[in-house]
Structure 1
Amino acid sequence: MRFRRQGEGEGDVAVVFVHGFLDDQYVWDRLIAELTTSGVECVTLDLAGSGDRTAAGGPFGYDRFADEVGAVVDALGKPFVIVGQSMGSAVAELVAAERPERAVGLVLVTPAPLAGTHLPAEAIDPFRSLGGDAEAQRAVRLQLSVALPEAELDRLIATGVRMRSDVVRDMADCWNAGHPAGEVPSRFTGPVLIIRGEGDGFVTEELVGELVAPRFGSVESVSVGGGGHWVHLERPVEVAGHLDRFLTGVLPSVDEAAASAVRPQGWTNAFEEKSAEAFRETFAADVVLEASSLTRPVEGRDQVTSVMGAASGIYESLAFTQEAVKGHRVYLEWRATAFGGVPIEGVTILTKDDNGQIVRIAIHHRPLGALHRFSAELGKRLRGVVPADLFHQG
């Protein structure tokens, strides 16, 4: 993955831009040039199969796109606002939802619903067959835009016809079929701004109101007159104004995010090492473990060490996302996977003594199905070490 950084030295927040179907990273340049918010850097990139990555192999779908854009966000290593247009808006949501500790805002420009558009064959086939057809691409862009500058229209067509026909077909299938995450409320709970062009006949006000906006808890929708599906190119000054206003509103939350960032400590380091002995070093002799995966508490350093050593080995991945401290108590939110990618989330409460050793642990898992499976697997791994009736027997 290659990406461009503009204003790299101007602050600790990144604004990451994800382009849409048939486009490339340069589609954002007119908008970025109009932004006035200080203290941010702007980052653009090409999705696989687009722009300078037309030679990339498949698959070409939301999971692959989100993994690659997520890798760029992780490489930046700072809080971010992510902006996506059309198909790219779905990618942007997936990336933000996986990084709640650093994603401080989400902007959806003429967004394709994450659940998909589900056009019938006679409606989606013309989009699937756009690969290499300059005249057909020109017709589609003219139909869905209001005021595309001629030079930008020509550049977009030149960009689109470079894409392989198989890539265009797969991308059209991708945004038409959607992603399972779009069928439920969004996992991104931060502030969301939706921007659409009033003249967009594809992403209509009704589509946004029925399929996009209701999935978010904190959302604002605005329409820009004189713009269509490429409103960021057609009306860059107006769109930049809305984006600047949004950035001004979310930037204070960056300080809040820093305050809630998880600091390395014995407990989190032990999970990273997956080491029973690393856990033991953090425990007081009379430590007590309570957990939703246990039928009753486990007491004493030896027993708790055995349970935590085995539990840490079940997780395939585990990330601590938020931390709060009050007196001797530490509250940690976390997100994990196990059993071949099954998501598990939870909250851990650690109570420490005056020496900083842990005297009580309370671990709460969700959802219930994953919790039962986790408890049963933990019982198998600890058979003969601790009593079997501590665990779910289903």
Structure 2
Amino acid sequence: MNPTHPTRPALVFIHGFLDGAAVWDDLVQHLGERASGALRVDLPGMGARAADPGPYSLDRFAADITTQIRALSRPVVLIGHSMGAQIAELVAVRLNEQVRGLVLLTPVPLRGTRLPAGAMRGFHALGGDPAAQRDLRRNLSVNLDDGQLERLGQLGDRVDANATGTFADLWNEGHPTGASPSRYLGPVLIIRGDGDTFSTAELISVGVTPRFRAPHVASIERAGHWPHVEQPAAIAHSVGSILANIERNVAGLNAPDVPVSPQGWTRAFGQKSADAFAETFSPDVMLEASVLAKPAVGIDQVKTVMTTASRIYESLSFTHEAHSGLRDYLEWEVQAFGGEQMRGITVLTKNPQGKIVHVAIHHRPLGGALRFSAELGHRLQGEVDPSLFYRSA
């Protein structure tokens, strides 16, 4: 561990189904010094511990990691992928205040996916079949090159064929505590790849986000089920934002800071769905923004603009919140256009029924705002009045 930051939360990475600790190599590299001394676990039966015998269970995995973390004697932030997200939830509850934040990456709901037996036969058949495992990874990813695919495949090759079906049943059947709201009350960041056909926006919005008090939600462009391998820079940006927010509170607090961001708004950005945005708006909602030449008015126009805007972002993190009466103030950081960074503030004004009646969005810097406006106009050509947008020369 880094001795210069004895109270800084250590990062703990928990891999998913048929993976191992090495799956985090690219993300750790992009996190740089912030990941120095991080704990990257290998779950029993996988990775470097593929020879560890059963029986296997989510509780065994959680107990194993809990023991390792307690030995650190310092606060931690848990980062769990897929099945590893289920385990991270269990660890967070066991360790309580030692866990200062929870990052769930393309998570499987703790209650399980409950896929039918017919669908699960394909996962059981992956054991001892390297070609099938690589086909699965290829089908559930968007941006894996051949080298990355092979590195992932080699992790799965280590797993005993007879254990593969057991691990699949674990994430499918889930854990009994997943049926009720989580007892972990600290900051939660949920990240999904926008091309992930397994941990879909619907699966997460129904099975994951409602269990937490006020989770942040981010969606990563051009990524599938392994966004930490497919788009490690974007994941590092999202993770770095929540870490910065957590670390500002570590020195003076004994318990983690609990965000209270408007869930409907942040969830809509995570889903990038017009219907999700519409659920948050009053019919007469007005949108004013530094990327618009004049206001967008009415639920149909505003949801169209916001949905398209959310799809331009490659990553989005809400970093701070403040609340006064019927107004919410959200600070955020984004990446777009191949890694260009922008920041801003959103002010949401609600009516007494909790519906948003006014949105004010302020982007910076100016160059990024003008480029964003022009891109919005291009994507919405023929759908929205073009005079709303900046047109580049």
The TM-score normalised by the length of structure 1 is 0.62
Find the partner of 1:16 among 9, 12, 15.
Answer: 12
Aligned pair in 2 of structure 1 residues 150, 184: CA closer, same or farther (>3 Å)? same
Q: Is structure 2 residue 26 aligned with structure 1 residue 30?
A: yes
Q: In structure 2, give the amino acid aligned to 1:205.
A: A
Cα distance in 2 between the residues matched to 1:179 and 1:190: 20
Aligned pair in 2 of structure 1 residues 39, 18: CA closer, same or farther (>3 Å)? closer
Is contact 2:75–2:98 with CA below 8 Å preserved after alignment?
Answer: yes
Q: Is structure 2 residue 106 aligned with structure 1 residue 110?
A: yes
Cα distance in 2 between the residues matched to 1:248 and 1:239: 14
TM-fit CA distance, 1:149? 2.4
Q: Is structure 2 residue 157 aligned with structure 1 residue 161?
A: yes
Is contact 1:10–1:38 with CA below 8 Å preserved after alignment?
Answer: no
The corresponding residue for 1:100 is: 96
Post-superposition CA distance 1:216-253 (Å, at most 9, x none): 00201110000000000000000000000010011123
Q: Is structure 2 residue 246 aligned with structure 1 residue 255?
A: no
Cα distance in 2 between the residues matched to 1:108 and 1:53: 23
> Which secondary structure does the structure 2 equivalent of 1:97 belong to?
helix
Aligned pair in 2 of structure 1 residues 84, 38: CA closer, same or farther (>3 Å)? closer
Is contact 1:144–1:228 with CA below 8 Å preserved after alignment?
Answer: yes
Q: In structure 1, give the amino acid aligned to 2:214.
A: S
Q: In structure 2, give the amino acid aligned to 1:96.
A: A
Find the partner of 1:84 among 53, 62, 80.
Answer: 80
Cα distance in 2 between the residues matched to 1:249 and 1:160: 35
TM-fit CA distance, 1:259? 8.1
Q: Is structure 2 residue 199 aligned with structure 1 residue 206?
A: no
Runs of 4+ in 1 over 6 A off after TM superposition: none
Where do residues 31-50 of structure 1 align in structure 2 (5 Å cutoff)?
31-36=27-32, 38=34, 41-50=37-46
Structure showing greater Rg: 1
Consecutive unaligned residues of structure 2, counting only runs of 5 or more, are 257-393
The TM-score normalised by the length of structure 2 is 0.63
Root-mean-square deviation (CA), in Å? 1.7
Cα distance in 1 between the residues matched to 2:226 and 2:200: 13
Q: Is structure 2 residue 50 aligned with structure 1 residue 54?
A: yes
Post-superposition CA distance 1:187-244 (Å, at most 9, x none): 1100100010000000001111111000000201110000000000000000000000
Q: In structure 1, give the amino acid aligned to 2:203.
A: L
Cα distance in 1 between the residues matched to 2:225 and 2:36: 26
Q: In structure 1, give the amino acid aligned to 2:53.
A: G
Q: In structure 2, give the amino acid aligned to 1:209.
A: S
Cα distance in 1 between the residues matched to 2:75 and 2:37: 11
The corresponding residue for 2:146 is: 150
Cα distance in 2 between the residues matched to 1:254 and 1:236: 26
Cα distance in 2 between the residues matched to 1:240 and 1:67: 27
Is contact 1:37–1:248 with CA below 8 Å preserved after alignment?
Answer: no
Aligned pair in 2 of structure 1 residues 48, 221: CA closer, same or farther (>3 Å)? same
Aligned pair in 2 of structure 1 residues 218, 212: CA closer, same or farther (>3 Å)? same
> Which secondary structure does the structure 1 equivalent of 2:218 belong to?
strand
TM-fit CA distance, 1:256? 3.6
Where do residues 1-394 of structure 1 align in structure 2 (5 Å cutoff)?
7=2, 10-12=5-7, 13-36=9-32, 38=34, 41-258=37-254
Is contact 1:19–1:85 with CA below 8 Å preserved after alignment?
Answer: yes
TM-fit CA distance, 1:179? 0.1
Cα distance in 2 between the residues matched to 1:15 and 1:61: 23
Cα distance in 2 between the residues matched to 1:24 and 1:155: 11
Is contact 2:113–2:173 with CA below 8 Å preserved after alignment?
Answer: yes
Is contact 1:17–1:45 with CA below 8 Å preserved after alignment?
Answer: yes
> Which secondary structure does the structure 2 equivalent of 1:189 belong to?
coil
Post-superposition CA distance 1:167-194 (Å, at most 9, x none): 2111100000000010000011001000
Cα distance in 1 between the residues matched to 2:184 and 2:97: 10
Q: In structure 1, give the amino acid aligned to 2:100.
A: V
